[in-house]
Amino acid sequence: MHVHSVTVCQDRVDVVVRIDDDERMRTAGDDEAVRRVFDLLPGLKRHVCDNVEGLTFAEEITDTEVPHLFEHVVIELMARSGSPRGLKGETQWDFSRDGHGVFRVSFEYDDDLVCLGAIKTADSVMAHILDGTAPPDIDLETARLRGLRSRMPQVAGALTRG
């Protein structure tokens, strides 16, 4: 999975991701990836998912699009960093419009810097989940993201004084 672009909008952050390998487009049959997800981010078991079948995310994760998993990882990282758990994400695709393997993932946010940091952190989380690379230190990463949140008033004050 490759993050192709990130756009910060007034009410959301839009990310375009591309998957080049058809065999890696879905989580189906990758029990190790599912195990690694919940070992690293157990809070994902509580995620709600809006789908036709009425499945929880914990049920859907066994066969879902990898960018959909990325969506939930980013939302969970944001929540662990102090964002409201009610923030939503959405994963869409239109291969005839954008090309095969291109997905559009959108995130609501309460702090754009935290959202952008969570997207960056999610890249290493996804490498661990999908490829078994060394897991990132989630506590350290979420502390770093919380630090972004607490620096905003300082940055705004510095800008108005300058």
The helix or strand, by DSSP H or E, that contains position 99, with its residue range, turns out to be none
Bridge-partner residues for 3, per DSSP? 17
Bridge-partner residues for 105, per DSSP? 15, 91
- pLDDT at site 18: 96
- pLDDT at site 149: 82
pTM of the model: 0.90
- pLDDT at site 151: 65
- pLDDT at site 155: 45
The full set of domain ranges for the chain reads 2-161
- pLDDT at site 32: 93
- pLDDT at site 78: 97
Is residue 29 left, alpha or beta, with left meaning phi > 0 and alpha meaning psi from -120 to 50?
left
Q: Are residues 107 and 71 in contact, defined by beta-carbon separation less than 8 angstroms?
A: yes
Dig out the tokens for 134 from the structure: 């060394």
Q: What is the pLDDT tens value at each position of the chain, 162 positions in all?
A: 999 999 999 999 999 999 998 878 999 989 999 999 999 999 999 998 887 888 888 999 999 999 999 999 999 999 999 999 999 999 999 999 999 999 999 999 999 999 999 999 999 999 999 999 999 999 999 999 999 986 655 444 444 444
The sheet with strand 102-107 has its strands ordered as 2-8, 13-18, 102-107, 89-93
Q: Are residues 90 and 68 in contact, defined by beta-carbon separation less than 8 angstroms?
A: no
Under DSSP, the state recorded for 51 is: -
- pLDDT at site 100: 95
